[in-house]
A and B are shown apart, each in its own frame.
Chain A
Amino acid sequence: MSSRAPQLALDDRAVEQARDLARRAGTPIVELATAHTTVAVERATLRLAGLGGADLEGTPWVNALVDAVRADVGLGHGVCLPVWDALVRGEAADLDELATKAAVGSVRFGVPTGRAAIDALSAARKQVGTGIEKLDVRRRERERMIATVGDAPSTPWIYLIVASGDIYEDIPQAQAAARAGADVIAVIRSTGQSLLDFVPEGATREGFAGTYATQENFRLMRAALDETSRELGRYVRLTNYASGLCMPEIAAMAGMERLDMMLNDSMYGTLFRDINPVRTFADQRFSRQIHARAGIIINTGEDNYLTTADAVEAAHTVTVSQLLNEFFAREAGLEDWQLGLGHAFEINPDVPDSFRMELAHALLARQLFPDAPLKWMPPTRHMTGDVFRGYLLDGFFNLAGALTGQGILLVGMMTEAVVTPWISDRDLALQNVRYVLNACGNLHEDFAPRPDGFINQRARHVLAESIELLERILGHQGGLLDAIADGTFGLMKRPADGGRGLEGVERRSEHYVNPAIDLLEAGR
């Protein structure tokens, strides 16, 4: 992909320094993540082992079982030893029955030792292993399907959103969007799902500004898009959100239902949803290990920094976050082709040279991450309700995307901030994209920014500011965690002992076992 964009004159040593600083800032966080487990990590493990469904009130069985185990013996050892110990002891015939019994309190859990621990672990490994195999099967299925029906014809992939709240409305809309030219369909989640500490069950028809992420909704949409992919002769990718309090569970469901891309950011939940940082980092690591295995491309959320802070002043926070996201992603086993690092076209159009700066920022990201399929996000902050001006702005956004070799282009709507997209808004937006790609998709061949021109200077300036910020983070006594606590990112102060979901975090004991993590790490 790197050959599709003009080259900047960056100092290789500065690039190396920035990456090294990100590694140093991120390493203690990985240690923190591996020293803890969370209710969501344990629930995701049970989901991989095949436990699904919910009771009559909608409480998922994985929640019931994890809560019961936790009440008896805590989570420091992980949920697997106590759960499979109970199964080996014959407390229940299978996981479903065990969860039902646990929910009414008719099973006592203990932490097995000696022979009993070996038996429990071996049973757990076998059953959790079937979930990991399912991820492999789905991944091969995707590869086979792309080989037979064909892939998206060109980059950037055209990414369109559906968000009706009702999965049965979303399906025809998604199919229509695919027929109209979308390479990627994202089903926006219902507002508020990120703060639910459980994953709703079944097909859902009610959501606010989006549709709930459930395993059944994933399955229904993927099946519909498979049908459309065959009809169109190109594989249409499906995207959802592994974010919020159930990050790893949703990642497991996505892998098992062959979703293709997932929103997954290392700090978004903490900064923008006030989720406890330890919870976020522990959940994030496991969810990314699952994505890595499932062949899913992650999309990170750097665009969000620019929706709350000024896109010129805060440009370097995007770069820093991209570097951290890259470090955490690689550590979790993701390969570069799986890193849809985010950034956005959010500079105030009234600022002189705004477009030149956008090009500089986009090229900087392109060059720092040459093998990552960058996710390019359209303007939202300066979409005012003047749909005509917004259409022009989206045209420039598309031009910047085409010229700088972005991998995934989220199609901007002129009615951003006015209404949820109408059928005509989507059609006009796609015409805009097509016109630009057709008119100048190869312009990068002719365009080379002058080594000491405005664009190169701006890119070098942002890189230097990124290095400064990373150094400032490392200057904090507690490193990145303290920097997050004192508002270094986006002015939001998020202390490590505060935030939502903290009660679901437990320190791992020295006997902590999670066969899913073992298998995922062994498979690398």
Chain B
Amino acid sequence: MNDGDQGRLLRPYGDTTGDGMVQLSFTLPMQHSKVAEGAAAQLAKKMGMDPAMVVHARPIGTGFTFFVVYGRVNHLVDVSAVRVVERDYPLLSPQEANLAIRKGLRRRLTVVGGCIGTDAHTVGIDAILNIKGFAGDKGLEYYRELRVVNLGAQLSVPQLVLRARKDKADAVLVSQVVTQRDAHILNTLEMSAAFRESYPAGSRPLLIVGGPRFDESMAEELGVDRVFSRGTTPGEVASYLVDQLVTRRSTSRAAPA
């Protein structure tokens, strides 16, 4: 973020500073009519758009109408009051990450990953783990000092814990794409509880979950160390692993309490 944005109050920008223009689309479960368009304008107004212009209305089937609304909102965005999880670790290149592990750990770092529950969508875990990577960023398999065990999809939590123990995982990565009925939340809670039970306190592997619908601020609530959301690159995950498992551990050893 630009430092100049801190503490500023903003309005949405259409084509003039301060115009507050936004666009919105939605469907109302009613037949298209003048009344329906009025109803759409009413909803937009209640949402804070004033004036609200219903620019498009189209019947869908018999009992539904789709609307596009443009309009001005009077709300101000207070940038100084926004709370997000900022990256709190340095971003490393694969070479830098390899070097840090080799120097700091003197062994390869083991990462066990998979999709738990009934989730069959491996796109997330594959994007992070497979050598192919994501958005031009090579996956964790590309890192010489990382040993990657990709367990694929539809893993049960006990299977995951077992493999993590067997492979002496330093970190466990879990991807959750399916979010119907909050499956991603429930599965993650089950997973973190299983690791708490199966490892002595303070010795469990680093737990990381990722998926497009996770809120990055929920780590504590979910009982994991880190939550990664949409758009996370393998490089970010690798850098986080190095920061947590190499950099921080060696500094905490160097400075005993």
Contact = CB atoms under 8 A, between A and B. Distances in A.
B217 interface: no
B60 A194 contact: no
Contacts of B64: 423
Q: List the 9 shortest-distance A-B pairs measured between CB atoms, nearest first.
A: A192-B118, A424-B66, A191-B118, A427-B60, A424-B27, A209-B178, A191-B120, A208-B180, A208-B118
Nearest to B151: A274
A191 B184 CA distance: 13
Contact of A309 (B25, B26, B132, B180): B132
Given A308-B126, A420-B180, 6 more contacts: A176-B61, A180-B60, A191-B119, A192-B120, A307-B123, A491-B130
Given A179-B61, A308-B126, A424 B25 contact: yes
A294 to B, nearest CB: 27
Interface string B231-250: 00000000000000000000
Nearest to A500: B154
Nearest to B29: A423
Interface in A220-275: 272-274
11 contacts: A180-B60, A195-B154, A208-B183, A307-B123, A308-B126, A417-B212, A422-B27, A423-B64, A424-B25, A424-B27, A491-B131
Interface string A206-223: 001100000000000000
B87 interface: no
A274 B61 CA distance: 42
Q: Say which size band chain A's interface belongs to.
A: 20 to 34
B223 interface: no
**Majority SS at the chain B contact face:** loop
B66 to A, nearest CB: 4
A250 to B, nearest CB: 17
Contacts of B126: 308
Interface string B147-169: 00000111000000000000000
Interface string B25-43: 1110000000000000000
Contacts of A423: 27, 60-61, 64, 66
A110 interface: no
A340 interface: no
Given A308-B122, A427-B66, A191 B58 contact: no
A385 B118 contact: no
A515 interface: no
A165 B180 contact: yes
Contacts of B153: 273
Given A274-B152, A417-B212, A190 B130 contact: no
B181 A208 contact: yes
A302 B181 CA distance: 30
A191 B60 contact: no
A345 B156 CA distance: 33
A180 B61 CA distance: 7
A133 interface: no
B75 interface: no
Contacts of B119: 191
Contacts of A491: 130-132
A93 B152 CA distance: 47
Interface in A333-385: 381, 385
A31 interface: no
A274 B152 CA distance: 9
Interface string B98-128: 0000000000000000000111111100100
Nearest to B179: A209
A424 B230 CA distance: 24
A428 to B, nearest CB: 8
A486 interface: no
A91 to B, nearest CB: 38
Contacts of B181: 208
A310 interface: yes
Given A208-B183, A209-B178, A308-B126, A427 B58 contact: yes
Contacts of B154: 192, 195, 273
Interface string A286-309: 000000000000000000000111
A308 B130 CA distance: 9
Nearest to A210: B180
Contacts of A272: 122
B153 to A, nearest CB: 8
B149 to A, nearest CB: 13
Given A274-B152, A427-B58, A209 B180 contact: yes
